[in-house]
Chains A and B, each alone.
Chain A
Amino acid sequence: MEFKEILIRPDKCTGCLSCRLACAAAHSRAGNFLGAVAAGEKPRARIFVHRAGGKNLPLNCRHCTDPPCVDACVAASMHTAGGGLVTNHDRQERCIGCWMCVMSCPFGAIRDSGEEDPRAVKCDRQCAPGDGLPACVRACPTGALTYGTVDQFSASSREEFLRKWLQC
């Protein structure tokens, strides 16, 4: 099965941060937004919305093929699991929170869990019940985030689009 990706259309991002809340909520103990807020939980979002030059760029783990974070993990916690998912959620107990992966991710997609004994957390796709749509994709009101497989042939058009987007 081909690994599905969270596809990003930065031009559609309004910077509403809904994806961040949904991501955090999906990773809460309550498992839903209002429940987590009501319980005073502090789950961490694993998607970021950067703003630069007047543009918004939502960004989370790209699940790289040769992930620098896996190379960097000195604890054999971060790994590429079945289907290409780069994660440490199933090896959390091994993570010592040394931030080697945080230092290595070119997308800044890994962060600390904020717990007393912090661990590294990232997009781990443990957020997609039922319809299988990741929480951030479900939460995005504008379609800046979608979920699908990569069209290999669109790489060049992608670059073209990007160049235009960044230039204007």
Chain B
Amino acid sequence: MKSHDTAVRVMLDAARDQGAETVWDRHAKQDPRCGFGETGLCCRHCSQGPCRINPFGEDPQKGVCGADADTMVARGLVRAIAAGCASHSGHAKHLAHALHKWAKGHSDHYPVKDEAKLKAVAGRMGISGEGMETRQLAGQLADLALKQFAEGEAPLAWAFNHLTAGRREALERLGAVPTGIENTIAEMLHRTHMGVDADPVNLLIGGIACAVADYAGSHMATDLSDILFGTPQPVASRANLGVMDAGKVNIALHGHNPVLSDLLVRAALEMEGEAGEAGAAGINLMGVCCTGNEILMRHGVPSLTHSISQELPIFTGALDAMVVDYQCVYPSLVAAASCAHTRVITTMGMAKISGAVHIEFTEENARESAQKIIREAIGAFKSRKGRAVSIPEISSEVTAGFSVEAIVGALSKLDPADPLKPLIDNIVGGNIQGVVLVAGCNNVKVPQDENFLGLAKELLARDVLVLATGCGAGAYARHGFLTPGAAEKYAGPGLKAVLSAVGEANGLGGPLPPVLHIGSCVDNSRAVDIAVAVANRLGVDTDKLPVAASAPEYKTEKAVSIGTYAVAFGLPVHLGVVPPVLGSQTVAGLLTAGVKELLGGWFIVEPDPLKAAEAIFGALQERRRGLGLASRPW
């Protein structure tokens, strides 16, 4: 089975009929995989290599330079973390520039939308803002944000200001304290160069510091997006391929950054008329991957599909444009579109795909290029006339938009004076056994969504509240888990009671969804914020909470980095795909056990979703016992 998503399966048949290649075909062609790479025992860090180490103890046991399995695996892993950190923080920096340019008057496309959030973030970052004008405050915050990228003298504030005191101490004890984002990334590249750091433990500590820097970048991305484009509030929409509309100009927005997509949402509204002139019933924007999450959370723009199924909308024949910024964008989109009328439009100078239409997008020319992009799509729509279109009529209802502010807002209907209290009371009382953040991508090695679905069903039935981000949230969206009905269907009695109470207090006429969509993958920072708030409220550190994370179908280096910061913050973190570290018993042992002694969190590697659910549940119960709360057997 390639996917649990029926719409995807329908489109796979279509792709086959069209003779088109998809990620699954390429996956099959990559088999058999190279075992050295699979276990992290292949090094290409210098041209004496590539060097391999035999995981069965036979020759060779060392790289040409003498690097052993431990060094090789550790170096590979921390380089992945550095890449993940670079991606999230590059995304954040882009937002910081947008805010900065508006504040300094270089661009008027990015005015502050959420002043309350601006003040709140500025306050957390130590800017009082008293008596300041919005633009001035925004300018100061943007300056501070940009300074986070350079080497500073103190621990990186955007991370450390958002952690418990206990966490800050634990990281300091370990020596995993970044002082700037980009210098930390650079240092990891330096340390993993041939002949630099060869101590696996030291490398891993460096990797943890880099993951903490990633957290700073992620948090900044969330904060600045909310300030610029609004803090999400619950919103209803739909998800899956059925959200396409043959009569409209169908535009998929794919990638990660709202800097582009939010502007396109605005521009599309203004250009409905132009679309009408072209014979379209309107402009139908849809999201793919985290760009999709950003505009779903803030504008209710429906989600088309996610991650490994990103090529499939093209085979409907109804997709007029696929507009991409960066990250998780398969270069194969261009080939997939080559037999269709679909325009693949790249927008970032640093992320081009040969064969795609490139429409450069900058903060200064944002509006014009947004219009240009939509015009290109309208043109494609015109050329679609007469072509066969086949859209699977499959989509699910979705309620999304659960920012921390939204969650606290909903809870405050139960206890306006102390909104966290109902949550904490229910955890203590056992109606909520714990909270699990399910994040990450799809991975073609796993039948699409299988682990997401299996994991959630098991956990929800056992009264574990699930928060979801990224393509994980996307999976739950497409499978109807983000609906009040899902609470009835999947949640255990305790959890159902809580969700219903919150729903009722908020006048929703039904329970909250049992899986709360809290945003894109940079928005994992929202989950940390909730954990930190609860921990502070209880007077414990985050490594004591019955909170865990899972990336059951992860694929990217970003996910490796996120998982690492979650471990650093004391969470048990499940991975459903085996990371390339098995080649070193030392490194694998540190990640799955040793690190627990140091930071409280650890990795649980378990491809089987049911066994994984059991392991995660066990970890939550261990935490409950640690807090003196009643625990339950599996």
Which residues from chain A sit less than 8 Å from chain B, CB to CB?
Answer: 16-18, 20-22, 24-25, 33-34, 36-38, 40-45, 114, 138-141
A104: min CB distance to chain B, Å: 22
Beyond A21-B54, A138-B32, list 18 extra A-B contacts (CB 8 Å).
A16-B36, A18-B32, A18-B34, A20-B54, A21-B36, A21-B55, A21-B56, A25-B35, A34-B582, A36-B56, A37-B55, A37-B582, A37-B583, A40-B585, A41-B56, A45-B56, A114-B57, A141-B34
Q: Which of B35, B36, B588 has the most CB of A within 10 A?
A: B35
- Chain B: CB-nearest residue to A28: B56
B58 lies within 8 A of chain A by Cβ: yes
Are A42 and B56 in touch, CB under 8 angstroms?
yes
Which residues in A have their C-beta under 8 angstroms from that of B583?
Answer: 37
- Chain A: CB-nearest residue to B39: A37
Which residues in B have their C-beta under 8 angstroms from that of A22?
Answer: 32, 35
Q: In the docked arrangement, what's the CA distance between A123 and B567, Å?
A: 44
Q: Interface extent on B, as a size class?
A: 10 to 19
B558 lies within 8 A of chain A by Cβ: no
Q: In the docked arrangement, what's the CA distance between A22 and B38, Å?
A: 12
**What are 25 A-B contacts defined by CB distance under 8 Å?**
A17-B52, A17-B54, A18-B35, A21-B35, A21-B54, A21-B56, A22-B35, A24-B58, A25-B35, A33-B35, A34-B38, A36-B56, A37-B55, A37-B582, A37-B583, A40-B585, A41-B56, A42-B57, A43-B56, A44-B56, A44-B58, A114-B57, A139-B32, A140-B32, A141-B34
Q: Which of A21, A42, A140 has the most CB of B within 10 A?
A: A21
| Interchain Cβ contacts within 8 Å, total number | 51
Which residues in B have their C-beta under 8 angstroms from that of A41?
Answer: 56
Contacting B58 at CB < 8 Å: which of A45, A138, A139, A140? A45
Q: In the docked arrangement, what's the CA distance between A114 and B55, Å?
A: 14
Which residues in B have their C-beta under 8 angstroms from that of A20?
Answer: 54, 58
A2: min CB distance to chain B, Å: 26
Q: In the docked arrangement, what's the CA distance between A30 and B505, Å?
A: 54
Which residues in B have their C-beta under 8 angstroms from that of A38?
Answer: 582, 588
Which residues in B have their C-beta under 8 angstroms from that of A33?
Answer: 35, 38
Which residues in B have their C-beta under 8 angstroms from that of A140?
Answer: 32
- Chain A: CB-nearest residue to B585: A40
A108: min CB distance to chain B, Å: 14
A158: min CB distance to chain B, Å: 26
Q: A17-B52, A33-B38, A37-B583 are in contact. Are A141 and B32 (CB under 8 A)?
A: yes
B578 lies within 8 A of chain A by Cβ: yes
Which residues in B have their C-beta under 8 angstroms from that of A16?
Answer: 34, 36
- Chain B: CB-nearest residue to A36: B56
Which residues in A have their C-beta under 8 angstroms from that of B52?
Answer: 17
Q: Considering the complex, which residues of chain B in the window 13-57 have a beta carbon less than 8 Å from any beta carbon of chain A?
A: 32, 34-36, 38-39, 52, 54-57
Q: Considering the complex, which residues of chain B in the window 55-70 have a beta carbon less than 8 Å from any beta carbon of chain A?
A: 55-58
Q: In the docked arrangement, what's the CA distance between A103 and B583, Å?
A: 33
Q: Considering the complex, which residues of chain B in the window 534-563 have a beta carbon less than 8 Å from any beta carbon of chain A?
A: none
Which residues in A have their C-beta under 8 angstroms from that of B582?
Answer: 34, 37-38
Q: Which of B35, B39, B56, B582 has the most CB of A within 10 A?
A: B56
| A-contact bits for B356-370, CB 8 A (1 contact / 0 none) | 000000000000000
Q: In the docked arrangement, what's the CA distance between A115 and B38, Å?
A: 26
B27: min CB distance to chain A, Å: 14
Which residues in A have their C-beta under 8 angstroms from that of B58?
Answer: 20, 24, 42, 44-45
B590: min CB distance to chain A, Å: 15
Which residues in B have their C-beta under 8 angstroms from that of A44?
Answer: 56, 58
Q: In the docked arrangement, what's the CA distance between A125 and B398, Å?
A: 54
